[in-house]
Structure 1
Amino acid sequence: MTLRELREKARQTLDPVVFDYVAGGADEERVLTENERAFGRYALLPRVLSGSEERDTSVGLPGAPQVSPVLVAPTAFHRLVHRDGERATARAAAAEGAVLVTGTAATTAVADVVAAAREAAPDPAVWFQLYPHPREEVTAELVRRAEDAGCTALVVTVDSPVFGRHTRDLRNGFTDLPPGYAAENMRDLPGAGPGALTPIPMSAAPGWPDLAAIMARTPLPVLVKGVLHPDDARLAVEHGAAGVIVSNHGGRQCDAVPAAVDCLPAVTGAVAGRVPVLLDGGVRRGSDAAVAVALGASAVGVGRPVLWGLAADGETGVRQVLSTLRDEYAHTLALCGGRRNTDLTPGMVVRKGGTW
């Protein structure tokens, strides 16, 4: 199946309320739409007589020395779409040599996610996505659990001072998880009773000093996710970030921001090669990934397509999504005369309808 067909099978498989939760965005969903549409404004200008029969698309990322250029972006509540949930996603990502970013809102605890990934590969790259908590001891415990589980990096999400207004969820009355499901990483945290759940934090209180404190607390590399402004990218690097992820939260937070890929050139310019820059939001084909890499991204993340694959066919479906995007990317690289990722450069990207 193509990714479009997987999406349709997921729609047919899932409860409509759950499908809307996965598919939906904030407010009028303008950014959700623009994330995908924006890639259509870019075209690749190939080079010729410069390729090779052998191509290397692997990329080195913090805590992930040799992985696919397509990674699994953090998405919540995988068990809502398939009974094996994050375990299936973890096995699939590890088998495909892709980084899995599991997170605070996973319906499987981080230790169990990493253990599942190790069933498919001896040394998988699993990163832990963290929402900083206003209470320092809660953040510290989440970081400790990620370290103990064997995560190889932290991803601190910084674009969520408040919850986005998800119109579909509000219309459907989907405001809490159904019985039997929980954000398992939020269980048994400091200040809560045995077995109790602490709410996932969305707080405007954390600032740059709090990010620096997280970095001082852990030996793991820390990437900062949710950056759109080049000045924030500079600040992230100055505070010690090991990577910057250009993201508008998949269109699920502010519905008045640009498409993620449109913000990428300014961010990569501000970072100036000091740390890797990644992108998520709107990647639906391998050529989208190639455009992002040409504009300076080291790798791209995909979220909704992974959940489509998981809903449609479990672990096998996730593997299909990741392998399809990786193979399409490699095919596009070859068509552009490239041997390796760095052969895709900003000078090979043009605006459709513009002058060359």
Structure 2
Amino acid sequence: MNAVSNPSVYSIFTAVSLTVLVPTGEITGSEMTLVCLADFKAQAQKQLSKTSWDFVEGEADDGITYNDNMAAFKRIRLRPRYLRDVSNVDTRTTIQGQEIDAPICISPTAFHSIAWPDGEKSTARAAQEANICYVIGSYSSYTLEDIVAAAPRGFHWFQLYVQPDWDINKQMVQRVEALGFKALVITVDVPILGNRRGNKRNELNLEANIKLKDLRSPGEKNCTLSALSSLPSTSFCWKDLSLLQRITRLPIILKGILTKEDAELALKHNVQGIIVSNHGGRQLDEVLASIDALREVVAAVKGKIEVYMDGGVRTGNDVLKALALGARCIFLGRPILWGLACKGEHGVKEVLNILKTELHTCMTLSGCRSVSEISPDLIQFSRL
């Protein structure tokens, strides 16, 4: 089904944004061999329209943080240990008490239907097959019910942009609880949109053009919840976390923490986890690369809550380095959309499998037989 021919499936786009963000075509897996995430990136750029590509890859300002997210990993060297029995290497781990097959999960990213007509439904099916966590975003191309129905056995967290209207927040929380979501991920670094020049050049005004359709559950005729605003509350602050904690028993994960001061405040306010993230370099430019901020946050929480990270992960070596620095797992953003743009659900599966296979390889070559054996002793920071 062509994405434009059925606009009712979209949760967010207005007619204006729909016409510029749809995929340019489809490619079957038999037409290409993609062996690493960089291959998927190159193919996805060919596959998507310029406006779509600029939206997916868009960075804030000069892209300093966007580029440093990847470059920072290359400043870290590995210190492998040999003469260990690595005949059986296990990539499984747990997050918030639930087992996953690899410490490689999916970040919340918006509008998956810009890359593939089935959008988040394809992503959810791929995550379910890989037995990993998928954080479904507030701004999705399909309703939550549709996404969960596509992958009913999936491990799902929900990313919430806290709204000024607390009745809306409460109804959203109740809805995701009823759908079986296992945690709330609160994105904290978007009180306003970052200065994304590519969107401006393409005259893609997200704040004006993006909205959510009616958020009623299927079959529900009367509901005071009409739509989320395009951006979260600018007044949401630490003291408001207690309001969330009163309306849900789900674990609360804060996404976007970059400093020890905020990590310590997260502990003080009894959240269950932190995703170290700079929003892929799309918000405030010239902040620390995620992998660099990770060390500071991990040291601050002292093992009392789980810490995860996203930003710049492109290889299995990158995953290994993040785990060695204290991340419980990593989350992928843009590479998931690359996979979708290339091959839909199968592309996402391939992206996840490539990264898992690369992680398994570098664990084996480093003498790590399980995720628990990955430690800070494995890495050294380069002087380059």
Q: Tell me if the contact between 1:63 and 1:125 (Cα under 8 Å) persists in the aligned partners.
A: no
Bigger mean CA deviation after superposition, 168-177 or 68-77: 168-177
Bigger mean CA deviation after superposition, 92-101 or 56-65: 56-65
The match for 1:211 among 228, 236, 241 is 241
Partner of 1:98: 132
Partner of 2:58: 24
C-alpha distance in structure 1 between counterparts of 2:178 and 2:303, whole Å: 31
- How far apart are 1:194 and its partner, in Å? 7.8
- How far apart are 1:215 and its partner, in Å? 2.1
Partner of 1:129: 159
Structure 2 SS opposite 1:40:
helix
Give the RMSD, CA atoms, in angstroms. Answer: 2.1
Unaligned segments of structure 2, at least 5 residues: 1-33
The match for 1:36 among 52, 70, 83 is 70
- Identity percentage of aligned residues: 37
Structure 2 vs 1, CA of residues 208 and 195 (structure 1 numbering), >3 Å: closer, same or farther? Answer: closer
Partner of 2:215: 187
Q: Tell me if the contact between 1:54 and 1:339 (Cα under 8 Å) persists in the aligned partners.
A: yes
The match for 2:80 among 34, 46, 49 is 46
Paired residues in the alignment total 346
Partner AA of 2:201 in structure 1: R
Partner of 1:323: 353
The match for 1:304 among 334, 341, 358 is 334
Matches within 5 A, 1:1-356: 1=34, 2-62=36-96, 64-118=98-152, 122=153, 124-176=154-206, 183-184=212-213, 187-188=215-216, 196-353=226-383
Bigger mean CA deviation after superposition, 167-176 or 305-314: 167-176
Q: Tell me if the contact between 1:64 and 1:99 (Cα under 8 Å) persists in the aligned partners.
A: no
Structure 2 vs 1, CA of residues 182 and 320 (structure 1 numbering), >3 Å: closer, same or farther? Answer: farther
- How far apart are 1:306 and its partner, in Å? 0.3
Q: Tell me if the contact between 1:64 and 1:152 (Cα under 8 Å) persists in the aligned partners.
A: no
Structure 2 SS opposite 1:127:
strand
C-alpha distance in structure 1 between counterparts of 2:224 and 2:159, whole Å: 24
Q: Tell me if the contact between 1:289 and 1:300 (Cα under 8 Å) persists in the aligned partners.
A: yes
Partner AA of 1:23 in structure 2: E
Deviations 1:121-147 (CA, angstroms, capped at 9, x unpaired): x3x211000111111111111111111
- How far apart are 1:148 and its partner, in Å? 1.4
Partner AA of 1:305 in structure 2: P
Deviations 1:207-258 (CA, angstroms, capped at 9, x unpaired): 1121222122112111111000112112112212111110001101000211
Structure 1 SS opposite 2:151:
helix
Structure 2 vs 1, CA of residues 323 and 177 (structure 1 numbering), >3 Å: closer, same or farther? Answer: farther
C-alpha distance in structure 1 between counterparts of 2:301 and 2:106, whole Å: 23
Structure 2 vs 1, CA of residues 67 and 146 (structure 1 numbering), >3 Å: closer, same or farther? Answer: farther
Deviations 1:244-296 (CA, angstroms, capped at 9, x unpaired): 11000110100021101001111111111111110000000010000000000
- How far apart are 1:178 and its partner, in Å? 11
Q: Tell me if the contact between 2:277 and 2:310 (Cα under 8 Å) persists in the aligned partners.
A: yes
Output the TM-score relative to the length of structure 1: 0.92
Structure 1 SS opposite 2:322:
helix
C-alpha distance in structure 2 between counterparts of 1:112 and 1:182, whole Å: 18
Q: Tell me if the contact between 2:190 and 2:231 (Cα under 8 Å) persists in the aligned partners.
A: no
C-alpha distance in structure 2 between counterparts of 1:178 and 1:113, whole Å: 26
Structure 2 SS opposite 1:36:
helix
C-alpha distance in structure 1 between counterparts of 2:98 and 2:114, whole Å: 28
Bigger mean CA deviation after superposition, 255-264 or 345-354: 345-354
Partner AA of 1:215 in structure 2: Q
Structure 2 SS opposite 1:353:
coil
- How far apart are 1:183 and its partner, in Å? 3.7
Q: Tell me if the contact between 1:59 and 1:66 (Cα under 8 Å) persists in the aligned partners.
A: yes
Unaligned segments of structure 1, at least 5 residues: none
Bigger mean CA deviation after superposition, 83-92 or 215-224: 215-224
C-alpha distance in structure 1 between counterparts of 2:102 and 2:247, whole Å: 29
